[in-house]
Chain A
């Protein structure tokens, strides 16, 4: 008996050494209901950490890796005659990353669950604290949707507390700002999310620089803001220089400049930030947007 107990501890220690992420992922099991009701039952619970996520969602894993995800739990709920419900919880290490992944995926936002939620046909997506939660039923029926809602509510209540939004959002002009038009990221792969700038890391964002894209205006007439917060002014200055030479515009990107399609853009340094405004219809529009960001940066810094 004593030997068996000892062996159990050895196995646990070996597992913790070999698969620390996996063990942590198992800890998220406490957020998931065993029996959500309506005769659905839990089946096939899986855990992923690090690059193992490729085995589950192939190249889609890169999205989560680019936001520094830690681990994931996936559980499928099955029913004799109703469609399955696939549930996933991603631990994104902190609330900024969780908000970021959510902002990258959602097109609309409501407050149904967590700190921000999107509901589409057969799916619910929300974030809370450092977690991103996804529920999906491939075919909507009244029973599958009702059960999906129960699971979402259970998880929402089971995750304690809440997390902060990224600090960089405080510097955004508030007029015309809509939650679904914000995309927060730290990896250069998303530098083209709202507006194509270029391939490669032409703004020295790397993988850990807080950055945000915002869509202002109406679908018929968009203006895009890109704000990037570097560690210090020296890095911001260097990034501006790299952008100027890569973007092929020379030094004229320091001031509002006209692109070949007739739109105006600018990229300027404000303290340790770079602030880009794109697709503007006039220099005045650029000046107003940049001025508002400058005012907010300086107010909050001093």
Chain B
């Protein structure tokens, strides 16, 4: 397979077709394409999401997710929207992430479960977990998956993304590590996963934009963005999240500070594996709510 190089990305950016700017800092700026064939991604933010102690206010989180779903599916009520996600005959695995420093918020998991039950899914046919999905009977029989995790920078894949969140569906995760996780999109071909994902929710409540130390975490490198990004295309949702992380790095460090290593698995999920689109010109991004310091 031919290497992906800076020159190639620049040439593509010059002809304005590829979403390469996140890999090149501000060097390449794609222009919008026509509205046809665009994948819809919803970014919702609410300045009241966190209370004075920094804890998530459950009712605000519920409202944010419901608004996102209504806009994603073009319906007027949350109950209609949840029916687009799943129904009474579905068995639903919710793949979350329990990394100790920045897990999928339990408040969000509770909202997802409530929505699924509201759509008619039986409680016993819902499982929400991270580790142990391979041995979980619900995940083994799942007809539908919901994928949710916080975005954070990562020492080996550039960012911990929605694409990467399925790595525990393989019993041997390190096999996806070569070339700094270039081909993580292959995970989405696994039988337990393929064509089952109905919804992707990227948590951007307090994202991590830079790492430090063995655990790659320091509170100094998080900020209260108070958002979630929702869509059906994991590559498009990750691509939007990545642009926000890059913008925050530039704002914080004062210069174009590329991720080390670059999160090329998101770009390659599009260009090499055709899982979705990473190209901003092909993403119909709808932003809702608090717009201050939106960074995108």
Which residues from chain A sit less than 8 Å from chain B, CB to CB? 51, 54, 57-60, 62-64, 72, 86, 88, 90, 104-107, 118, 120-123, 125, 134, 136, 138, 183, 189-190, 192-200, 202, 218-220, 222, 246-249, 259-261, 263
Contacts and interface: CB of A to CB of B under 8 A. Distances in A.
B217 to A, nearest CB: 8
Interface in B197-251: 210-221
Contact of B179 (A51, A200, A260): A200
Interface of B: 1, 3-11, 13-14, 23-24, 27-28, 101, 154-157, 173-174, 177, 179-182, 210-221, 253-256, 258, 260-262, 264, 268
Nearest to B177: A62
A123 B213 CA distance: 8
A262 to B, nearest CB: 9
Contacts of A198: 3-6, 8
Nearest to A222: B255
B260 A193 contact: yes
B214 A196 contact: no
B5 A105 contact: no
B213 A125 contact: yes
Given A57-B215, A248-B5, 20 more contacts: A54-B174, A60-B155, A106-B212, A107-B212, A118-B212, A120-B220, A122-B218, A134-B213, A136-B217, A136-B218, A196-B9, A196-B24, A197-B5, A198-B4, A200-B3, A200-B4, A222-B256, A248-B7, A260-B14, A261-B10
5 contacts: A120-B220, A136-B213, A196-B258, A222-B255, A248-B7
B215 to A, nearest CB: 6
A179 B189 CA distance: 44
A150 B6 CA distance: 46
Contacts of B179: 189, 199-200
Majority secondary structure of chain B interface residues (helix, strand, loop or mixed)? loop
Given A120-B220, A192-B262, A194-B260, A246 B5 contact: yes
Nearest to A200: B3
Nearest to A72: B214
Contact of B215 (A60, A62, A183, A197): A60
A259 B10 contact: yes
A253 B109 CA distance: 52
B253 A219 contact: yes
A219 B6 contact: no
Contacts of A189: 156, 179-180, 261
A121 B218 contact: yes
Nearest to A248: B7
Given A123-B213, A247-B7, A59 B260 contact: no
A105 B260 CA distance: 10
A122 B9 CA distance: 39
A57 B156 CA distance: 12
Given A63-B155, A105-B213, A123-B213, A220 B4 contact: no
Across the A-B interface, the 7 shortest Cβ-Cβ residue pairs: A219-B255, A198-B5, A219-B254, A200-B3, A260-B10, A62-B156, A121-B220
A276 B14 CA distance: 24
Contacts of A190: 260-261
A138 B7 CA distance: 42
Contacts of A72: 214
